[in-house]
Amino acid sequence: MKPISVPLLQNFVEGLSSISQFWGFPKGMGAIFAVLYVSPTPLSLDNLVEHTGLTKGAISTNVRALARLGLVFPISHLGDRKDYYTAETDFYKAIRAILGERQNSEFDRAVASVRITLIKLKSGEGTFAQEERSFLIERIQAMQDFFDALDHLTKTIARLDTLGLPTIQKILKTLK
Amino acid sequence: MKPISVPLLQNFVEGLSSISQFWGFPKGMGAIFAVLYVSPTPLSLDNLVEHTGLTKGAISTNVRALARLGLVFPISHLGDRKDYYTAETDFYKAIRAILGERQNSEFDRAVASVRITLIKLKSGEGTFAQEERSFLIERIQAMQDFFDALDHLTKTIARLDTLGLPTIQKILKTLK
DNA sequence: TACTATGTTTAGTACATACTAAACATAGTA
DNA sequence: TACTATGTTTAGTATGTACTAAACATAGTA
């Protein structure tokens, strides 16, 4: 079965590629995930080359990135050197993984720089008129509070292991 | 007052630039917003050129993009041809605006393509074995449900006009 | 009308990055 | 050991895009 040779599914694959790109991931990652997602059986790297039209190199790096995010799983069959891959089908799990990944890295460092600015302002660093300083502290504190709330929210979501539709529904009811 | 000439605030501006970039917006947008955010008074385009080091052109386009997102507000003083800008300080408002913006555009079209694939599958389009078709429907339906839940969530948030820290806290409590 | 001050648009540039093609590495097999 | 099948890494390319510099547009003023 070659899922991707079917035009109907090509649309699907292209859609996921766009979504992937939209959220700052390579288009290829979306395409690979899409192909795996609509495949009833695990696919090898060569299968993916065939179905996506990407080269081995691209597949290799993208599929590893996907695995690191927890969106695909490598499967090793005994007596077969080939690696096979299958897609995560629980999106809530996947989202948690992505949130966890994003939590680190550049974003954290950037947010940290805001916190540091605030600390320095509070500890009297820099030359500001008193009024000026308290204005800056107020403003940046508000931003910091916002980041903290977001951080708290994502960390909480990431910690849950039972995030499913019922939970979402519960949140929605709370908000109404 | 030239906020940006102060090294302490340069850090802050660079931090927001990185955050902006991280979320798929131009670095310049983050820098401009940061400068406006720590300015006690509205700033003109020339002020922004001075404080960010960007050129008029870049400021012009980025500041308009920010205004479209509802992150900054243009202010016209009578008898003064200059446009002045000030930053939105309610981040929850801002987030709603951004969510609304993102809801449309490419992302929506991409998600729509998933829905269309599903509809076509359900209406018997394409040549699939019965088992194959029901497998695909099940898979893609699950994805569609997920998108719907997300959509519902963001739309609900966008509809609220009293989203603040208390609401976030309430959500967090629900999740725990 | 010409002149100045301001904001916008455009042509070109620089940079980041996802991808290709091909070299390389390695595990299994004879 | 050599050979094959598979996966990884690397050098180069192409593409998108944010920015610069400068031309352009326009409103107010003399």
pLDDT, residue A4, reads 53
Mean pLDDT by groups of 10 residues along chain B of 176 residues: 66 92 91 96 95 95 94 86 92 77 72 94 93 96 87 69 59 54
pTM across the whole model? 0.83
| pLDDT attached to residue B3 | 43
3-state helix, strand, coil in chain B (%, to 5): 70, 5, 25
What is the predicted pLDDT for the residue at B169?
A: 61
Nucleotide D5, nearest residue via CA and C1': A81
Between CA B166 and C1' D18 the distance (Å) reads: 38
Q: Give the DSSP letter string of B102-168.
A: HHSHHHHHHHHHHHHHHHHHHTT-S---HHHHHHHHHHHHHHHHHHHHHHHHHHHHHH-S--SHHHH
Residues in chain A within 8 Å Cβ distance of B122: none
Taking residue A91's Cβ as centre, other Cβ atoms within 10 Å add up to 18
Contact at CB, B15 and A114, closer than 8 angstroms? yes
Element (H, E) at A121: helix A105-122
Nucleotides on chain C within 7 angstroms of protein Cβ: 5-11, 17-23, 27-29
pLDDT of residue B78: 75
- Indicate the residue of B14, B126, B145 with minimum beta-carbon distance to A8: B126
Tokens 């609304």 found at: B100
Residue B147 has a pLDDT of 87
List the A45 CA – D8 C1' distance (angstroms).
12
Between chains, do B139 and A37 touch, taking CB under 8 Å as contact?
yes
- Rounded distance between C-alpha atoms, residue B170 and residue B157, angstroms: 13
Give me the sheet containing A83-87, strands edge to edge: A43-44, A83-87, A72-76
Share of chain A above pLDDT 90, in %: 56
Beta-carbon separation of B171 and A175 below 8 A: yes
User: Considering only CA atoms, which of A38, A151, A106, A11 is closest in space to residue B111?
Assistant: A11
Q: Distance (Å) from the C-alpha of residue B29 to the closest C-alpha of chain A?
A: 15
Q: Which residues, in sequence order, are CB contacts of A36 under 8 Å at separation 6+?
A: A42, A43, A48, A72, A85, A86, A87
CB-based contact B136 A92, cutoff 8 Å? no
* C-alpha span between B84 and B88 (Å, rounded): 13
SS3 at position A85: strand
Q: What is the DSSP letter of B77?
A: -
Nearest CB among A91, A160, A172 relative to B156 is that of A172
| Bridge pairing between strands B83-87 and B72-76 | antiparallel
Question: Which two structure tokens, joined as six digits, stand for A46?
Answer: 């060569």
Question: Residue A161 gets which letter from DSSP?
Answer: S
| Helix A130-159 vs helix B91-103: crossing angle, to nearest 10 | 50
Regions in chain A scoring below 70 on pLDDT: 1-5, 100-105, 156-176
Q: How far apart (Å, rounded) are the C-alpha atoms in residues B13 and B4?
A: 8
CA(A50)–C1'(C22) in Å? 19
What is the number of H-type helices and E-type strands within chain B?
Answer: 8, 3
Contacts of B168 in chain A (CB under 8 A): 149, 152-153
Contact yes or no for B154/B163 (Cβ under 8 A): no
Inter-residue contact B92 to B160 (CB < 8 Å): no
Packed helices B56-69 and B45-52: angle between N→C axes, nearest 10 degrees: 110
Q: What distance, in Å, lies between the first and last C-alpha atoms of chain A? A: 46
Count Cβ atoms below 10 Å from residue A47 Cβ, excluding itself.
21
Specify which residue's alpha carbon is closest to the C1' of nucleotide C17.
Answer: A26
Structure tokens given for A48 = 């993916």
